Amino acid sequence: MKNIEDKKNKLVIIDYGAGNIQSIRFAFKRLGVEAVLTDCENEIRQADKVIFPGVGEASSAMKKLKYSGLAHVIPTLRQPVLGICLGMQLLCNSTEEGNTRGLGVFDVNVIRFSNHLKTPQIGWNQISNLKTHLFQHISENEFIYMVHSYYAPLCKETTATSDYGIPYSAALQKDNFYGVQFHPEKSSLRGGQILKNFLAL
Amino acid sequence: MLTKRIIPCLDIKNGRTVKGLNFLSLRDVGDPVELAQYYSDNGADELVFLDISATEEGRKTLTQLVLKVAEAINIPFTVGGGISSVEDVELLLKNGADKVCINSAAIRNPELIHEIALRFGSQCIVVAIDAKQVNKDWNVFGVGGKTPTKLNLFNWAKEVQDRGAGEVLFTSINHDGTKNGFANEALAKLSCMLSIPVIASGGAGKVQDFEDVFITGKADAALAASVFHHKQIEIRSLKTHLITKEIPVRPFDP
């Protein structure tokens, strides 16, 4: 187990009351890294890596981020930030869910899957057209676990694609900001590899 | 492409796995964590834990168990059994469950579905429906499939969807335990009328049954217990078979 005070490995998970954080903490623990759960601006800014999680509904999550002031902190972070699922969606310009304005890091608007598809999409899908070091040692068409009703369309910041009725963004990246629509913490060994890659960025 | 899911179900009582299990390779066949790890490492796409403890003490043990399972496995898992309030759900999710499954509580208090969905999102609530076909009608049963209700399977399934359920887990009482295949006709009807995923349960006995439940039954996922626990079917070889039949599943890939 690496020392959490070890500056090189200081990992924080942003705590804003968004759903199941345990499984993300445990996934990093399996990699030998103890993540700190915090809503403290200083602690977040001093971390080497930041996880921006999210499960639940967009507008209420955004309200919590605004109320705590984190909505201003997150887009100004300089270290690698990984948004997971709703976390990724909130980093976009906007989302149709609850007509919510996002943090505007990724220049794309999140929309709902077409009515003729079962929503939420739940289960194992594949990721393709993989770009960036986040997907090092990950094969094209690897299986990962998805749970979502809204998606980011393909855009210039897309770094992985998936397909559910239409192709869409499974991952996004801009500068130090990374986002994944899937749940690496629930995506078996390959998901663990993606988290390991994030730690190595 | 989104794949069909294979989901083993473990019955838990007072923190231990119950029902005849045949896992000679495990040190402790009654240890749910070890079994969960085994399934997670051998191709299961998700796991369901069904708590059948009747006591308060047993329920507390469940919470600790959920935490240990979450620590050990890297695939999603659902916890069901005895959940009757938003607080029950919160406790399980906080301890690392990804989804909860409710059944009788939803029948008693349908508003609970909406309350859970609103608070934690639809994706974390699975509504289980036990139903029995009598003549042409499918009637819903509560309390472990024992107590008849006035609800019709298809109307109730539509209602739970409208109230915010993220998935429906349908068990056919007629087929459960027969090992003679799933209730494919009813499943196909459910799957076509609902806009949320349908998990099929009850009747798995052989590999062909899984092929049928995905093709004829149009199910999004198939759940089984004893055929996996007794190693009558190994998930990895089941998946290999389904792939040869061009059914999309996540291949076993260590």
- Tell me the C-alpha distance between B41 and B28, whole Å: 17
Measured torsion, CA atoms of residues A103, A109, A114, A118, in degrees rounded to the nearest 10: -30
Out of B67, B96, B121, the one facing A55 most closely (by C-beta) is B121
User: Is B254 part of any domain?
Assistant: no
Q: How many residues does chain B have?
A: 254
A185 is catalytic: yes
Residues near A158 by beta carbon (within 8 Å), at least 6 away in sequence: A129, A152, A169, A171, A172
Mean pLDDT on A152-177? 98
CB contact under 8 A, A20 and B2: no
In this predicted model, what pLDDT tens digit does every residue of A66-116 receive, in sequence order?
A: 999 999 999 999 999 999 999 999 999 999 999 999 999 999 999 999 999
CB contact under 8 A, A26 and B70: yes
Answer yes or no: is pLDDT of B112 > 80: yes
Structural domain count, chain A? 1
Structural domain count, chain B? 1
Provide the pLDDT for residue B29.
64
Provide the pLDDT for residue A170.
98
Residues of B in contact with A56 (CB under 8 A): 120-121
Q: Which two tokens stand for residue B239?
A: 């998946």
Provide the pLDDT for residue A4.
46
Out of B96, B121, B196, the one facing A56 most closely (by C-beta) is B121
Of the candidates A185, A129, A146, the one whose C-alpha atom is nearest the C-alpha of residue B220 is A146
Mutation target for A interface from B86, B123, B126, B190: give the one with most A CBs within 10 A. Answer: B123
Mutation target for B interface from A29, A55, A114, A124: give the one with most B CBs within 10 A. Answer: A124
Provide the pLDDT for residue A3.
47
Provide the pLDDT for residue A2.
46
CB contact under 8 A, A20 and B96: yes
Q: Report whether B36 contacts B46 (CB < 8 A).
A: no
Of the candidates A83, A85, A27, A82, the one whose C-alpha atom is nearest the C-alpha of residue A56 is A85
Question: Coil, strand, or helix at residue B26?
Answer: coil
Distance from CA of A67 to the nearest CA of B (A): 18
Residue in chain A nearest B251 by alpha carbon: A143
Of A55 and A177, the structure prediction assigns the larger pLDDT to A177
Question: Coil, strand, or helix at residue A171?
Answer: strand
User: Is B116 part of any domain?
Assistant: yes
Q: Tell whether A1 is within 8 A of chain B (Cβ).
A: no
Provide the pLDDT for residue A116.
93
Q: Which two tokens stand for residue A171?
A: 């991952």
- Tell me the C-alpha distance between A149 and B207, whole Å: 32
User: Is B251 part of any domain?
Assistant: no
Which residues does residue B148 pair with via DSSP β-bridges, in sequence order? B141
Whether the bond between A120 and the residue before it is cis, its omega within 30 degrees of 0, is: yes
CA distances from A63 to A74, A98, A184, A199, B116 (A): 14, 11, 26, 29, 19
CB contact under 8 A, B124 and A55: yes
User: Is A2 part of any domain?
Assistant: no
Which stretch of A74-88, A174-188, B136-150, B207-221 has the lowest confidence by average pLDDT? B136-150
Q: Which two tokens stand for residue B9?
A: 């179900």
Of A79 and B30, the structure prediction assigns the larger pLDDT to A79
Cβ density class A45-77: b for 16+ within 10 Å, e for less? eebebbbbbbbbbbebbbeebeebebbebbeeb
Q: Tell whether A161 is within 8 A of chain B (Cβ).
A: no
User: Is B159 part of any domain?
Assistant: yes
User: Is A156 part of any domain?
Assistant: yes
Residues near B172 by beta carbon (within 8 Å), at least 6 away in sequence: B131, B132, B133, B182, B183, B186, B201, B202, B203
Of B190 and B231, the structure prediction assigns the larger pLDDT to B190
Residues of B catalogued as catalytic? 11, 130
**Domain containing B170 — which CATH number?**
3.20.20.70
Provide the pLDDT for residue B25.
54
CB contact under 8 A, A119 and B75: no
Q: Which two tokens stand for residue B56?
A: 């308060």
Residue in chain A nearest B197 by alpha carbon: A118
Listed by number, the residues of chain B in 28-47 with a beta carbon closer than 8 Å to a beta carbon of chain A are 40, 45
Helices then strands (H, E): number in chain B?
Answer: 10, 11
Question: DSSP letter string over B113-174?
Answer: HHHHHHHH-GGGEEEEEEEEEETTEEEEEETTTTEEEEEEHHHHHHHHHHTT-SEEEEEETT
Chain A to chain B Cβ contacts (< 8 Å): 95
Residue appearing with tokens 């890294």: A33
Domain that holds residue A90: 7-200
Q: Report whether A158 contacts A128 (CB < 8 A).
A: no
Amino acid making up residue A70: L
In this predicted model, what pLDDT tens digit does every residue of A4-48 receive, in sequence order?
A: 444 467 999 999 876 678 899 999 999 999 999 999 999 999 999
Residues of B in contact with A144 (CB under 8 A): none
User: Is A44 part of any domain?
Assistant: yes
User: Is B249 part of any domain?
Assistant: no
Which stretch of A1-15, B180-194, B207-221 has the lowest confidence by average pLDDT? A1-15
Out of B95, B196, B251, the one facing A22 most closely (by C-beta) is B95
Distance from CA of A96 to the nearest CA of B (A): 15
Domain that holds residue B235: 5-244
ipTM: 0.94
Out of A23, A183, A188, the one facing B96 most closely (by C-beta) is A23
In this predicted model, what pLDDT tens digit does every residue of A126-151 receive, in sequence order?
A: 999 999 999 999 999 999 999 999 99
Provide the pLDDT for residue B69.
95
Q: Tell whether B76 is within 8 A of chain A (Cβ).
A: yes
- Tell me the C-alpha distance between A30 and B73, whole Å: 10
Residues of B in contact with A26 (CB under 8 A): 70-71, 96
Binned at pLDDT 50, 70 and 90, residue B226 comes out as: confident
Could you count the other beta carbons within 10 Å of the beta carbon of residue B147?
Answer: 12
**Domain containing A96 — which CATH number?**
3.40.50.880
Answer yes or no: is pLDDT of B27 > 80: no
H or E segment and range at residue B34: helix B32-41
